Structure 1
Amino acid sequence: MTIQLDATPKAPHAEHDHSICVAEALARAELCCGESGARLTPLRRRVLEVLADSHVPLGAYELVERLGASGEKTPPMSVYRALDFLVGEGLAHRVESRNAYIACGREHAADDVVVFLICDDCGLTTELASHAMGRDLAWAARSAGFSPRASVVEIPGLCAPCAEHRRGPAAGKDR
């Protein structure tokens, strides 16, 4: 089976401007909530901002700490409710293997499979989507009489900078 991914991953690098990620996530959230009639409360907005500012999945208590660092005293249950909202609206994803959350980087078709490439060393998580894999998995699930709740694949490994770091500077000189 050939797996086609619908987008080229955009892994951040040293010069990466997180403010662009935050602005795009907030614009998408405003549009999504405007269309659905859902309310993007100040806390939901702040939680999404913090998630979009990080390309590493964050746990609820990490979010509480980051919000607290900016002077916001937010109870963990409020953060969990905000996360439930963001996931429910398709604005964030839960990364099961990390018991953490990450801002959603793109729109997904109903039968897309969300693919997370998760770096073992730095935690960088890149989101991709595969329509072809989603179609094939939906067919296989239907054939088995199964109704999946979600289609997510998490692939651990090494991002390019971490792989290069492990090889060491001498490895690059041999080329």
Structure 2
Amino acid sequence: MHNCDQHSDCVEEALRRADNICAERGLRFTQQRRKVLELVWESHGPVKAYDILDRLDSRIAAIKPPTVYRALDFLAENGLVHRLDSLKAFIGCSHPLKHRECYFLICTDCGEAKECCNSELADVINETSHNNGFRAEHTTLEITGECRDCRDTH
């Protein structure tokens, strides 16, 4: 999601992937769901539901908080966005449906969140869950700290 050369290209690619995923699954990718996903990607970082609501309100009349939350739930359930619980925010998934386990490096200074994948880490989490008689359905790990850019400015 980060480090893109043309931001509009990555937004368009996310919308194209969402169209394809919804079509393959027989799901309705409504105008409101599409706009919410577009706004998540336009932010290019974690975005809160009420920030989306504020920006949607000027585009589509009579939008209420439950509408935005339902759209975000739909997008999360279908692997198109991730919920970052520590920030109470959402971020676009840079590779939907390609994995179920990911982790995020979240800078406490600038708020940047980077999606990372590591199969070895996922294997350890799955093994630990199994050894404890727990069936994990989904894993999102959030690691907070300071990114290189913020460290370099201190």
Partners of 1:18 and 1:54 within 8 A in 2: no
Unaligned runs of 5+ in 1: 1-9, 167-175
Task: Select 1:103's aligned residue among 86, 92, 101.
Answer: 92
Question: What is the percent sequence identity of the aligned residues?
Answer: 38
Task: Select 1:144's aligned residue among 117, 132, 150.
Answer: 132
Partners of 2:24 and 2:111 lie apart in 1 by 33
Partners of 1:19 and 1:64 lie apart in 2 by 21
Larger Rg: 1
Partners of 1:109 and 1:131 within 8 A in 2: no
Other structure's SS at 1:97 match: coil
Partners of 1:126 and 1:12 lie apart in 2 by 10
Unaligned runs of 5+ in 2: none
Matched residue type, 2:33: R
Matched residue type, 2:149: P
Q: Which has the higher contact order (CA 8 A, sep 6+)?
A: 1
Task: Select 2:45's aligned residue among 52, 56, 61.
Answer: 56
Partners of 1:60 and 1:80 within 8 A in 2: yes
Other structure's SS at 1:121 match: coil
Partners of 1:12 and 1:74 lie apart in 2 by 32
Matched residue type, 1:119: C
Deviates more, 1:49-58 or 1:81-90: 49-58
Matched residue type, 2:8: S
Structure 2 length-normalised TM: 0.90
Partners of 1:44 and 1:82 within 8 A in 2: yes
Deviates more, 1:148-157 or 1:89-98: 148-157
Match of 2:101 in 1: 113
Once the two structures are TM-superposed, the CA of residue 12 in structure 1 deviates from its matched residue by: 3.5
Structure 1 length-normalised TM: 0.80
- Counterparts of 1:114-129 in structure 2 under 5 Å? 114-129=102-117
Give the length in aligned residue pairs.
154
Partners of 1:75 and 1:158 lie apart in 2 by 35
Other structure's SS at 1:45 match: helix
Matched residue type, 2:35: R
Matched residue type, 1:160: R
Structure 1 segments (4+ residues) deviating >3 Å? 10-13, 69-73, 107-110
